[in-house]
Structures are given as C-alpha cells and as structure tokens.
Amino acid sequence: MSTVNIEALSNTKQFLSLVAEKLGRAPIDFKEKLDFIKRSKNGPEPHSAAGVLVLLHHTGSDRQPCKEGEFIFQLIKRSARVAQPGDLSCPGGLLHGILDPALMPLISTGIIPVLGGEPLSLARLRDRETFRIIKLFLANAARESWEETGLSPWNISFLGPLPSYSLFLFRRTIFPLVGFAKKRWEFCPNLEVESIVEIPLTAFLDERNYALYNVDTASEVRTARQRPSGFPCLVARDRAGKEEVLWGATFYIIMNFMKIVFNLDTPDTGSKRVINRTLGPDYLTGHPDRY
C-alpha cells in the first residue's frame, strides 16, 4: 500500500484539480464496453449499461461537519425493495435509451453546468465518441442521483471518468463518473434507498479498516453461478458508530479511484479480520412490495 501525502487533501481547490488531472489523463474503456453491450442486445445474454456518480464532498464549509475540512464519499445504502439490499453503492442506475440522450444536450450546452473547467478540457482531448459517451452517462448518473437522493444536477461538478466495471452476475456494466457536491443538500431518498452513508476518504488510507468479506449464498443464488467467496472490503463507522461494510463493485470502483489519483493499492486482506455474510434468495431481486 503506497504512502499518501495527507497534505494533498488539505487544500480543496488543489485537490480537485489533482483529481481532474489524474482522471482526465487515465485510460478508460467506455467506447469498447458500450459497443459490446450494443452487440449483445440480439444475443442469448443481453447486457445492460448503468451510469453511477462517485460522489465526493468536502465538509469544511458545513455547519456541522463530521470532521473539519474532510473529503468524504457520499454513498447510498440500498433498500430491501431492490436487488443487492443492504449493500453500499454509488447513486446511479440503468441508462434510459430515450430520456438520457434527451438530457445530454442540457449538459453539452451548459444549461446544466455539470461539465466545465479543466475536466471539460481534458474530456475534449479524448476521441469524439468517447467524449459523447462521457456526456451520455453523466446525464444518466446525474438524473438517477437526483431521483434517488434529491441531489440537484446544479450542485454537481464533474471531475472525470473511471474505467468501467462489469457485474457478470447481473449482466450489467457500470460506467462510473466522479463528481463533487459543491454544497450539502437535503437528502430526499426514494424507496430504493434506505439511507445515505458517508465514508471519509482518509478511511481508505488506514490498513486497519480493511477486512475480508466471506460471502456464502443461498441455494437460489448459487444456481445463478454465485459461489462462496472471500472479497476484500472496507469497514467504516457511520456517525452513530454503526459499522458499514463496503465491498463488491463499489469497493473496486473507489479503489480504482484511489489507485489512479494516489497510486494506492488494495492491501492484502488475507490475514485481516473476516466478516461472514450469507446472501439470501432475495439478493438478486429485492422485495418490491416491501415498504
């Protein structure tokens, strides 16, 4: 695990510029993955695409910060109504084939000022099709974030894209976009969201927060090719002191962010704390009728 200069986090403007520079020059695979998804539509196992917002916020200007001058990841905890209940994830969701392309011009023209400054200049340096796809999934992620949490698109500053992540169990590819929430807003979670969970960025710098997530599955899930496995995870505490476990796709997406921005590798979790969990038969579907 690399050593990170904590001073890099002390100046908000300089840190956001660093993030934009690192993400803007990192290779991404959006065009290739979206081409694959389009080709799969007529096959026996069609895949879907989803945009998510890896949302950063700085607490220094808040009246009641969880710690003065701290960068945090703002995540959602999925409700029992949806698939993967109880998991932490980034706000976002499936690409809407009509609505999201219709919203994209609002971002392109600056009517919704999500995309600007250095991140826009760096995004334009990519090929034309990749730039278009970034704007498409930015519209997708911003729309879904507003629906799930009440986050206004006018409160988001785009910082850069991350490489995609494929969920083979769900035949879905996630297209992550990193954004910065300029000010705290009133959370208005919809029925898909149980709560908002905030994890300090510095939590990822402490090896003591990492563990091994030992996942077993109910027989109904095993038939979908899920096997008992151990996964690296991060254990964080919310403001009430309750432990939350970040694992799976969202863990890997954020660790990808940490690798690109800080050259930070995931520590070896083989000798660390083990957390056991059994995924019930509702893990793939949730309980749509539960209130």
DSSP letter at 199?
E
Q: Running along the chain, 291 residues long, what does each successive block of 10 average in pLDDT?
A: 65 93 97 96 93 94 55 93 90 96 96 96 98 98 97 97 92 96 91 93 94 78 55 86 92 97 90 86 74 49
Q: Could you tell me the CA-to-CA distances from 209 to 25, 142, 173, 232, 243 in Å, in that order?
A: 30, 30, 28, 11, 11
Interatomic CA distance for residues 191 and 183, integer angstroms? 24
Contact 84, 247 (CB under 8 A): no
Regarding the domain with residue range 6-204, which homologous superfamily does it belong to in the CATH classification? Nucleoside Triphosphate Pyrophosphohydrolase (3.90.79.10)
First to last CA, the chain: 43
Torsions phi, psi for 93 (to 5 deg): 175, -170
* Residue 58 β-bridge partners: 71
DSSP state of 112: S
Enter the tokens of residue 2.
């690399």
Let me know: does 243 contact 183? Beta carbons within 8 Å. no
pLDDT of residue 223: 45
Q: Beta partners for 211?
A: 233
Exposed/middle/buried for residue 232 (C-beta within 10 Å: 0-12, 13-18, 19+): buried
Query: Would you state the pLDDT for residue 115?
Result: 96
Give the model's pLDDT for residue 63.
43
Q: Is the dihedral of CA 81, 85, 88, 89 positive or negative?
A: negative
pLDDT, residue 159, reads: 98
**Which residue has 């799976």 as its token pair?**
248
What span, in angstroms and rounded, lies between the C-alpha atoms of 184 and 147? 17
Domains of the chain: which residue ranges? 6-204
pLDDT value for 219:
53
> What pLDDT sits at residue 180?
97
pLDDT computed for residue 272 by the predictor: 82
